[in-house]
Structure 1
Amino acid sequence: MTTIDFSPLFRSMIGFDRLSNALETAYRTEPGGYPPYNVEVHGENDYRVTMAVAGFAPGDLEIEVTDNVLRVSGARTEQDQEKETKYLYRGIANRGFERKFQLADYVRVVDARLENGLLHVELRREIPEAMKPRKIEIRGDDAKLIEGQQQKAAA
């Protein structure tokens, strides 16, 4: 397996230590697979992951978020799987699955619902007020800062 050297990027990027890990994970992940899914963008800060999980009940599915990784898994119980049934053709997948999605900072799950065989997981990016851009005032030599207010110095 080839590895990519990201050290030139880190010369001008500060605080992106996890970037190389995320890119390495994305490089190793194979596209496609089961179950099929969509990732949708709704507005500036709202996202939706939609997965086709036909045949799974809400109790068969599990959604968990740990360390900015969204994990969606599904497993059918033994009693759901009819062992005595004989199939001439079996085209409907009946296997368990696990899908992982890397979430950006400040993205949280706000809702999950199962509707017509589709699992919808709603996500929202909520940037804390302290992290939002703010304008910093530049004072000159003749200005003093007293209790958060700028005043002109007496000449």
Structure 2
Amino acid sequence: MSKLTLNSYPHMLGFEQLERLLERSAKSGNEGYPPYNIEQTSDHSYRITLAVAGFAEEDLVITVEDRQLVIRGRQRDDSEGRIFLHRGIAARQFQRMFVLADGVEVGEAVMENGLLHVDLTRAVPQSVVQTINIRKG
């Protein structure tokens, strides 16, 4: 079976970057931690919610790098001088990446009850009709 690519559709011009974004997203290495939700909050806005219990605001870094939203978490090791009889809550680091389409902007991030909410908005493209003049050659 041959691999289906956007190049298979000659009427789809200028979408080569979309194929690269899909490949990069598939290789992003996102593991199952932390769990997250993505919800559509209006016709042009979204919210990503990550379960980051145990992380403080200063343990989290949110950046946009090359049209990718990257959320990183690294907890400080505060176990010095403590004796654990059982340690089931591991202090682990994570990196979650989300590929953003052109026109999607990252809004505010809010930490609430162990959940990190990141709001996104998509600019509504204006409908433009352009008439191209034909000149004699």
Tell me what 1:145 maps to.
Answer: none
**8 Å Cα contact 2:55/2:114 also seen in 1:** yes
Q: In structure 2, how many angstroms separate the alpha carbons of the residues matched to 1:32 and 1:73?
A: 13
Aligned to 2:135: none
The answer to whether residue 84 in structure 2 is matched with residue 90 in structure 1 is: no
SS class of match (1:95): coil
Q: For 2:129 and 2:20, how far apart are their aligned partners in 1?
A: 32
Aligned to 2:108: 111
Counterpart amino acid of residue 94 in structure 2: F
Task: Name the larger-Rg structure.
Answer: 1
Query: C-alpha distance in 1, partners of 2:126/2:100?
Result: 19
Question: Aligned equivalents of 2:69 and 2:44: distance in 1?
Answer: 17
Using the size of structure 2 for normalisation, the TM-score is 0.82
Distance in 2 (alpha carbons) for counterparts of 1:137 and 1:109:
34
**SS, match of residue 18 in structure 2:** helix
Contact 2:30 2:95 in 1 (8 A): no
- 1:84 and 1:70 map into 2 onto residues whose CA distance is 37
Across the two proteins, how many residue pairs are aligned to each other? 131
1:41 aligned partner, one-letter code: Q
Give 1:136 deviation, angstroms: 5.1
With structure 1 as the length reference, what TM-score do the two structures score?
0.73
Q: Show CA shifts across 1:90-145 (max 9, x none).
A: 33231111111000111111110100000000000114xxx42134579xxxxxxx
1:74, 1:32 → 2: CA distance?
A: 13
Q: List alignment gaps of at least 5 residues for structure 1.
A: 139-155
**Displacement, 1:38?**
0.6
Q: Aligned-pair RMSD on alpha carbons?
A: 2.5
Q: Secondary structure at the match of 1:77?
A: coil
Sequence identity percentage: 42
2:128 matched to which residue of 1?
A: 134
Inter-partner Cα distance in structure 2 for 1:106 and 1:96: 30
**Unpaired segments of 5 or more residues in structure 2?**
133-137
1: CA distance between counterparts of 2:93 and 2:99?
21
Amino acid at match of 1:115: E
Q: CA deviation at 1:21?
A: 1.2
Task: Give the structure 2 partner of residue 65 of structure 1.
Answer: 64
- Return the alpha-carbon distance in structure 1 between the equivalents of residues 114 and 43 of structure 2: 27
CA-CA distance at 1:13 after TM superposition: 0.9
Shift of 1:88: 3.2
Pair 44,113 (structure 1): closer, same or farther in 2 beyond 3 Å: same
